[in-house]
Amino acid sequence: MKKALPYIAVITAMLIWSVSGIAVKEALTVLPPLTLIVMRFSIAVVLMLCIGLTARAVSRSRSLGQPAKKESGLALQRVERKDLPLFILGGFFQPFLYFLLETFTYDSLSSPTIAEALLSTAPVFAPAFGILFLREKVTFNNIAGILLSTAGMLMLILVGADSFAMGNAWGLLTAFLAVSSALLYTVMLKRIPARYNALTVVCHMQAFSLLLFAVIWLFTDKTMQTLTLNAVLSVLYLAVFSSVAAFILFCYTVRRIGVTRANVFNNLRPAFTAIAMFLIFDEHLPWGKLAGIVLIIIGLYICQYGSFARR
């Protein structure tokens, strides 16, 4: 069961992120984009601080007068100065830089479908980043599974799309930079020493990102409409589940199975989104999209097959 935990964690994270777009759209009906981001990550960081500090205090109180025990996995740890650059770089790459580049990509490309397809290519480039920065071993099964799963993801996005107009060519560059930023974030997750737990890693990275977002937010339009209950619930979902739970689960998985094999699970997000839209909003799910979901699942299995076989 312990060996399956990274896979359960990453699938749960993708399920959470797959419906985040619905929450974002609802929140943006009353909140400017940067205001939403600052609210979302402010709540997330405060929540992680409360959880982390409480868990640390409980762990220390239990160990008084007893042999030293390993701290709880939810205890907020102190970051050593020599490791701080890795946390800062991770927070800079994502959420900060990725969110800005993602926004510019959607704004520059006239087709949201093309933008989504380009921004979903992280699994294709993950092996190169894994080899270049971490010297990860990439097998034929990894590559074949990634390509098959990515083909399924593209079918999900492109089948039934109304527009394929390209728009501003700068959008192509920002899409590539956004994907690179997301992958460099996962490289930082892997390079941070294993002695730091996932909550400590995510909390410090998001706190640094929040500072950068807040500086930009001070010089932007902060006009907002009256908050609705749906908007408040959407912000809370994005903060508690998308920014805390999903980020911690994904961090845990990357640090356990590596950049290449963890990133291929990103192809599950459009699959889960399509299923959610079908179940919740009764949106049509054509055979082409169903075939895409099947390809994603098969590709994921092939990508992880060597790991399963060794176990």
- The one-digit pLDDT tens for each residue of the chain (311 residues) are 678 899 999 999 999 999 898 899 899 999 999 999 999 999 999 999 999 999 998 887 776 656 555 666 889 999 999 999 999 999 999 999 999 999 888 888 877 778 888 888 999 999 999 999 999 989 999 999 999 999 999 888 888 766 656 567 788 899 999 999 999 999 999 999 999 999 999 999 999 999 999 999 999 888 888 889 999 999 999 999 999 999 999 999 999 999 999 999 999 998 888 888 888 777 778 888 899 999 999 999 999 875 544 44
pTM attached to this predicted model: 0.92
Residue-level pLDDT at 308: 45
Q: For every residue of the chain, which 3-state class applies, written as one string?
A: CHHHHHHHHHHHHHHHHHCHHHHHHHHCCCCCHHHHHHHHHHHHHHHHHHHHHHHHHHHHHHHCCCCCCCCCCCCCCCCCHHHHHHHHHHHHHHHHHHHHHHHHHHHHECCHHHHHHHHCCHHHHHHHHHHHHHCCCCCHHHHHHHHHHHHHHHHHHHCCCCCCCCECCHHHHHHHHHHHHHHHHHHHHHHCCCCCCHHHHHHHHHHHHHHHHHHHHCCCCCCCCCCCHHHHHHHHHHHHHHHHHHHHHHHHHHHHHCHHHHHHHHHHHHHHHHHHHHHHHCCCCCHHHHHHHHHHHHHHHHHHHHHHHHC
User: Quick one: pLDDT at residue 309?
Assistant: 44
pLDDT score recorded for residue 311: 46
- The pLDDT assigned to 47 comes to 98
pLDDT at position 307 is: 55
For residue 170, the model assigns a pLDDT of 85
Task: Please give the pLDDT value at position 85.
Answer: 96
Write down the pLDDT at residue 81: 95
Contacts of 288 (CB under 8 A, 6+ apart): 155, 159, 160
Report pLDDT for 162. Answer: 65
